[in-house]
Amino acid sequence: MPLQANQPYKPAFFEVAQIIDGKAVAAEVRRNVRAEVAVWTSEGHAQPYLAVILVGENPASASYVRGKIRASQDAGIAGDTLTFGANITEQELLDVVRDLGQQPNVDGILVQLPLPDHIRADRIIAELNPDKDVDGLHVVNAGRLATGQVGFIPCTPSGVVELLRHSEIETRGRRVVIIGRSNLVGRPLASLLMHKGYDATVTVCHSRTRNLSEVCREADILVAAIGRAHFVSADMIKPGAAVIDVGINRIEDNSRPSGYRLTGDVDYEAVKEIAGWITPVPGGVGPMTIAMLLQNTLLAAKRRTS
Ligand code: GUN
């Protein structure tokens, strides 16, 4: 049963947090996209096409990009990775991005971040065609989101909102605290949750926030997007709150063949005893980011055709 606006957050019969299964929700979104792509192509349209740009040798980025391309193909979206060595110049990369923006068969363009230090990510993103910016990072799309206009919404924030919606976690009138002010997650998520329909009261915290624990304890929904393993501890959580962990941190683990394991920004084991809902890492927000990218790519293809 959906929570009513005047209900306390954690219903009394929950002993520990409900685990929000991002993998399952993402699978549903991906199934829907696949079905929509099938209808779209059966109507005589070309397969949507996503170009992913990967620069340098960052193993985490390479792994994310492989996941994005595999998921695209699984949904019936054509996808290619354009891979460049870390020594590509900023000008060369600008030319690549501009050229993709003009190619009629390309619906979506994603530049995997981070880029090497000698390349200014802002300049590269500014060169994206906003109508193909499926990551929603171009200032035109950021501005549209901030002002409540239709554009492309960055994939991780829309994945977070989709998880809340799917878990029937009410945002209207609720206090949301986001830790992290990045252009990829914190800022756009704050804009999105303030939109009509979501109607949350949003606080964005960062490294200079005073009394961070106190602020977090006021949150009905706490979103951790700081990139520091286990930063959010149990004493920062209001009993019954929904805790959404956006962090994906690699920490050393010699018991694994890879020598590392992935962990979130939240001390999951301790926090799940206090929270009403929690997302695991891996298997929470991460799979949603990919699913929403597919949704945005299909949307880009449709918008460019109409
Ligand atoms: N690096 C980490 N997450 C993302 C993302 O969602 N998009 C891009 N472009 N780069 C990322």
pLDDT tens-digit series, residues 94-110: 999 999 999 999 999 99
- C-alpha 104/C-alpha 99 separation (Å) is 10
Alpha carbon of 118 to ligand 1 centroid (Å): 18
Ligand 1 first shell, C-beta below 6 A? 110-113, 135, 155-156, 184, 289
Q: Is position 23 annotated as part of the catalytic site?
A: no
- C-alpha 214/C-alpha 218 separation (Å) is 7
Contact 90, 124 (CB under 8 A): yes
Position 280 confidence tier, pLDDT thresholds 50, 70, 90: very high
CB atoms within 10 A of CB 132: 28
Residue nearest to atom 1 of ligand 1 (CA): 113
- C-alpha 66/C-alpha 205 separation (Å) is 32
- C-alpha 212/C-alpha 205 separation (Å) is 7
Contact 163, 22 (CB under 8 A): yes
287 backbone dihedrals φ, ψ, rounded to 5°: -60, -25
pLDDT digits (tens, 9 = 90+) for 20-67: 999 999 999 999 999 999 999 999 999 999 999 999 999 999 999 999
Residue nearest to atom 2 of ligand 1 (CA): 113
pLDDT digits (tens, 9 = 90+) for 110-143: 999 999 999 999 999 999 999 999 999 999 999 9
* pTM reported for the whole predicted model: 0.94
Q: Is position 196 annotated as part of the catalytic site?
A: no
Cis upstream peptide for 114 (omega within 30°):
yes
Alpha carbon of 38 to ligand 1 centroid (Å): 27
